[in-house]
Amino acid sequence: MRRWPATNKKSERWSTSLKKELVLRLLRGEPVQGVSREMAVPIYKLERWRNCALAGIDSALKERESATLEASLVEAYRRINELAVEVETLRQRRRTKRASPGQAAPVLAPLPEVERPGNETQNWALGFSCA
């Protein structure tokens, strides 16, 4: 067990790693009075750090994994759509350059719709569903 010298500074700053170590000691069951005395940290600070750590644990466990996966999927489809538009623009420029002055450029076929699970077609560039 590490011991830190007690100081009497009023505006002492505690590192995150030290706070985490002290909070873990409290969560393991060490009495808050003993940790406070040993480390020269007021009890109210230790209790505040412990409460903040528990709140952080709660919020981390409440996070929905599917929401982050869905956001990543939407971003990936948005990027795919951007790239598809860019490819079509470049194809159009190339066809226009190839066409002789008296000929019209060939008409491009529209981009295919993207199918999502549940038979729902989505326009990912505009962010709305076409069900």
Query: Is residue 88 within 8 Å of 111, Cβ to Cβ?
Result: yes
Query: Is residue 46 within 8 Å of 53, Cβ to Cβ?
Result: no
pTM for the model: 0.43
Q: Quote the DSSP letter at residue 128.
A: E
The predicted-structure confidence for 23-71, as pLDDT tens digits, reads as follows 999 999 999 999 999 999 999 999 999 999 998 888 778 767 677 788 8
